């Protein structure tokens, strides 16, 4: 196959027993696909085994010693080609040795192997049309090099490489450093005067031309100094110095010691072995056997679905220092799961969902908003006539016994609208229901119930009317039990920082209000017909701000009471489709963490089906968060809360996007990528992808030892419900087989590895939009 420009790149697959020191003016990627090899440069050996990758920079003079049966791919990308597409190329080296990369770079290396293997296979076909395929992969490799592995070259600090003229001059210096290169020659090359170029060069690089040229020469001389037995005069001549004395003076200026001292201190132990092999270099044989090509093909299945082209601006460092003396316990808010009516727990599927939520998320209360005739009376006639053989609370008692066994209490939501329809009947039923429950299940269970008087009425209902009904309810409940908590709904207006006029009675009767319930729905402050980024950003702290303002108002009016967030939302949009594409795990977690210590409890709905039925709504609701979908698929809320509840021990470190705990088994670290933006943009894959970020995390203060590290990743593709749902959906519906497949296939990913951790340890974590990662460091028991 005739290449369009053979100088741009080159790729070989060879058996390399030994290669004498060599330097390639460009970036070279060495990939061992069979056997082993030792690559020597920069004063050290790189021991490479099968699947290892090493990048050799244009500054490195390197040699290779390999096993008898090894096979190494060498992909060379010329400096001219690289700098044509990345102007700052000469400003950086690329530090990439797969064995020594921090944890979290495995996917990057897998993608790099994949791309190199594709180029090698395409090149071996010798077919027309492969040039575009090869170049496409080259661009991806160069992007990965600059994105993940670039490291500022020491002699380039302060150099402005974005200037095209300087880039050309530097490239020429790198190519001809061994020649007697002069400033006047470069000036003539650029059609400039020597004096102007001298000033210009120093202005752009921070050093004079000769000083810079000498540093380049010294840099290139190191491998000759370390890997050959050449004397100083020979090394000086080979690298552009006129005399050994001149070489020594410049070298000492850079390294604060003479070349002889440096050689004695750093020279490689295997120098004699290298020299002994120089005269026995074996011929390199290009290997294109089916066995080798099959081995190459094995790398094509790994890394193909990975995406590592995030802009470098999205790489962020987190330095986490553990403070074992902090000793702060995690605060645990109470959890309410709303099921609408008690009779829902006669449904075995709902019961299983509640048990699972209890086990993994903690459930303190079941929320009920319809009781008595809607509760679980055996027949309608039993409202007025009690059967001798079947008490009216038979089914109710079955459910209450189940809740008592589970250690879950009732959170009764008494709606003013329901009471006002038949006040005497309703109040009487309240009295009878509580009396029955106390008699059958005992005070220890029933007196832990909480009763919320819910009234979100406009000015059509007077303050006097709401006050009268509440006091009546209060009197009935307290007559039966002094310990049962009774509270009110608090329709606080965060904009006016005030209660509505017809709710002011709550201030007067604060002594008879033992807790308050409130709601926060960010959708209420967003105009979806005319939305913009600035307006949307205002809602970012809506839940936290409303909570704090409400607490301040209560404090000012001597109403300091426990707060229960019964309904809330994190701005999911107003359609089922947008709700499905807008993954929100980290948004939920962030809000929960912000409310830590601020609220007594938080509410969720058990599933979509019950929630929509109770709200008489056929569209996807956005005023609250559900744990399960219509079947048993888990919503992001479920996994988010599971991750949060899994944390235990004391808080050892905390930041805006992480929290780390220490416990008797080791450590737990939860990190997340919270991204708040309009759900409308969630259907734009590029927009969502650009909201991803990568964290380079440095941990300090870990107790040294062997650890099992478990990493659970929860994002749109790992545990997210709707991507799988939409992929399997069709206009003909989803049957039970598809539903079972969805339920079984959606869960966070799990990766396990064993590591010895020092007091300082670092790793990378790539987090998609609103992703959550939970890393557990379980210390091995000796």
Higher pLDDT, 644 or 629: 644
**pLDDT at residue 375 in the model:** 43
Sole residue written with tokens 């390197």: 62
Lowest mean pLDDT among 22-31, 471-480, 602-611: 22-31
3-state secondary structure at position 766: strand
The Cα 263–Cα 224 span in angstroms is: 10
pLDDT digits (tens, 9 = 90+) for 458-511: 778 999 999 999 999 999 999 999 999 999 999 999 888 999 999 999 999 999
Mean pLDDT of 77-85: 85
Quick check: 86 and 167 in contact, CB under 8 A?
A: no
Split at pLDDT 50, 70, 90, the class of 133 is confident
> What strand order describes the sheet that includes 760-767?
315-321, 693-700, 760-767
How many CB atoms lie under 10 A from the CB of residue 151?
Answer: 11
The Cα 89–Cα 156 span in angstroms is: 11
Q: Exposed, middle or buried: residue 283 (CB in 10 Å: 0-12, 13-18, 19+)? A: exposed
**pLDDT at residue 578 in the model:** 57
3-state secondary structure at position 424: helix
Quick check: 339 and 679 in contact, CB under 8 A?
A: no
3-state secondary structure at position 35: coil
Quick check: 91 and 159 in contact, CB under 8 A?
A: yes
Mean pLDDT of the chain: 84
Higher pLDDT, 717 or 381: 717
Mean pLDDT of 115-142: 86
**pLDDT at residue 311 in the model:** 54
Top mean pLDDT of 259-268, 459-468, 676-685 is at 459-468
pLDDT digits (tens, 9 = 90+) for 377-403: 444 444 444 433 346 788 899 999 999
Split at pLDDT 50, 70, 90, the class of 602 is very high
**pLDDT at residue 379 in the model:** 40
Higher pLDDT, 69 or 226: 69
Higher pLDDT, 360 or 576: 360
**pLDDT at residue 776 in the model:** 97
**pLDDT at residue 419 in the model:** 92
Give yes or no for residue 613 having a pLDDT over 90.
no
Mean pLDDT of 722-742: 71
Q: What percent of the chain has pLDDT over 90?
A: 48
The Cα 118–Cα 304 span in angstroms is: 11
The Cα 656–Cα 316 span in angstroms is: 13
Mean pLDDT of 546-567: 95
Mean pLDDT of 259-285: 61
Give yes or no for residue 151 having a pLDDT over 90.
no
The Cα 770–Cα 672 span in angstroms is: 7
**pLDDT at residue 204 in the model:** 80
Task: Give residue 395's Cα distance to chain centre.
Answer: 46
**pLDDT at residue 780 in the model:** 92
Quick check: 334 and 364 in contact, CB under 8 A?
A: yes
Give yes or no for residue 3 having a pLDDT over 60.
no
Q: Exposed, middle or buried: residue 679 (CB in 10 Å: 0-12, 13-18, 19+)? A: buried
Question: What is the set of domains in the chain, with CATH numbers?
Answer: 9-154+283-309 (2.60.120.10), 160-270 (1.10.10.60), 329-648 (3.20.20.80)
Higher pLDDT, 377 or 518: 518
**pLDDT at residue 406 in the model:** 97
Phi, psi angle pair for 219, to nearest 5°: -60, -45
Quick check: 354 and 605 in contact, CB under 8 A?
A: no
């Amino acid at each position: 196959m005739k290449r369009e420009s053979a100088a741009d790149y080159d790729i070989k697959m060879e058996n390399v027993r030994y290669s004498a020191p060599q330097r390639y003016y460009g970036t070279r990627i060495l990939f061992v696909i069979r056997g082993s090899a030792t690559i020597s440069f920069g004063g050290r050996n790189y021991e490479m085994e099968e699947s290892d990758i090493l990048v050799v920079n244009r500054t490195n003079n390197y040699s290779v010693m390999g096993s008898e049966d090894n096979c190494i791919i060498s992909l060379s990308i010329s400096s001219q080609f690289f700098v044509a597409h990345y102007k700052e190329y000469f400003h950086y080296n690329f530090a990439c040795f797969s064995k020594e990369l921090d944890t979290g770079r495995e996917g990057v290396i897998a993608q790099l192997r994949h791309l190199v293997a594709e180029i090698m296979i395409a090149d071996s076909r010798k077919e027309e049309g492969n040039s575009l395929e090869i170049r496409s992969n080259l661009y991806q490799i160069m992007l990965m090099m600059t994105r993940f592995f670039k490291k500022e070259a020491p002699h380039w600090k302060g150099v402005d490489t974005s200037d095209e003229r300087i880039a050309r001059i530097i490239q020429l210096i790198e190519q001809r450093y061994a020649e007697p290169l002069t400033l006047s020659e470069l000036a003539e090359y650029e059609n400039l005067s020597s004096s102007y170029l001298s000033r210009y060069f120093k202005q752009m690089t921070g050093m004079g031309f000769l000083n810079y040229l000498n540093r380049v020469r010294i840099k290139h001389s190191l491998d000759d100094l370390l890997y050959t037995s050449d004397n100083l005069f020979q090394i000086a001549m080979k690298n552009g110095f006129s005399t050994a004395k001149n070489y020594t003076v410049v070298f000492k200026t850079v390294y604060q010691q003479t070349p002889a001292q440096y050689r004695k201190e750093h020279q490689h132990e295997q120098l004699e072995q290298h020299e002994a092999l120089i005269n026995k270099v074996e011929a390199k044989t290009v290997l294109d056997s089916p066995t080798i090509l099959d081995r190459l093909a094995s790398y094509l299945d790994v890394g193909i679905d990975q995406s590592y082209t995030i802009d470098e601006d999205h790489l962020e460092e987190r330095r986490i220092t553990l403070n074992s003396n902090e000793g702060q316990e995690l605060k645990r808010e109470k959890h309410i799961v709303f099921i609408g009516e008690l009779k829902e727990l006669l449904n075995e599927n709902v019961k299983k969902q509640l048990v699972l939520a209890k086990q993994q998320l903690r459930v303190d209360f079941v929320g009920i908003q319809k009781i008595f005739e809607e509760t679980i009376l055996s027949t309608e006639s039993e409202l007025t006539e009690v059967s001798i053989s079947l008490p009216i609370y038979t089914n109710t008692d079955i459910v209450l016994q189940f809740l008592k066994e589970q250690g879950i209490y009732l959170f009764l939501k008494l709606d003013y609208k329901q009471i006002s329809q038949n006040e005497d009947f309703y109040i009487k039923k309240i009295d009878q229901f509580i009396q029955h429950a106390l008699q059958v299940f005992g005070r220890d269970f029933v007196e832990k119930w909480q009763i919320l008087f819910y009234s979100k009425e406009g000015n059509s209902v007077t303050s006097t009317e709401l006050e009268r009904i509440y006091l009546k309810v209060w009197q009935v409940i307290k007559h039966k039990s002094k310990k049962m908590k009774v509270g009110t709904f608090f329709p606080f207006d965060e904009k006016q920082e005030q209660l509505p006029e017809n709710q002011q009675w709550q201030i007067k009767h604060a002594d008879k209000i033992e807790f308050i319930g409130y709601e926060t729905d960010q959708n209420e402050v967003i105009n979806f017909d005319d939305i913009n980024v600035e307006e949307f950003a205002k809602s970012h702290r809506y839940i936290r701000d409303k909570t704090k303002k409400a607490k301040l108002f209560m404090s000012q009016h001597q109403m300091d009471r426990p707060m229960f967030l019964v309904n809330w939302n994190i701005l999911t949009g107003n359609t089922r489709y947008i709700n499905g594409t807008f993954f929100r795990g980290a948004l939920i977690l962030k809000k929960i963490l912000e409310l830590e210590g601020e609220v007594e409890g938080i509410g969720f709905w058990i599933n979509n089906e019950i929630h929509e039925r109770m709200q008489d709504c056929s569209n996807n609701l956005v005023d609250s968060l559900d744990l399960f979908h219509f079947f048993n698929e888990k919503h992001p809320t479920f996994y988010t809360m599971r991750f949060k509840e899994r944390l235990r021990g004391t808080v050892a470190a905390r930041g805006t996007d992480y929290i780390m705990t220490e416990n008797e088994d080791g450590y737990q670290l939860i990190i997340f990528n919270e991204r708040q933006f309009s759900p409308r943009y969630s259907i734009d894959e590029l927009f969502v992808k650009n909201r991803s970020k990568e964290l380079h995390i440095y941990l300090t203060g870990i107790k040294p030892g062997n650890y099992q590290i478990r990493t659970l990743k929860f994002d749109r593709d790992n545990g997210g419900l709707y991507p799988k749902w939409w992929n399997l959906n069709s206009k003909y519906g989803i049957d039970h087989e598809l539903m079972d497949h969805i339920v079984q296939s959606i869960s966070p990913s799990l990766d396990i590895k064993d590591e010895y951790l020092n007091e300082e340890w670092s790793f990378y974590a790539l987090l998609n939009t609103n992703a959550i990662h939970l890393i557990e460091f379980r210390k091995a028991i000796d």
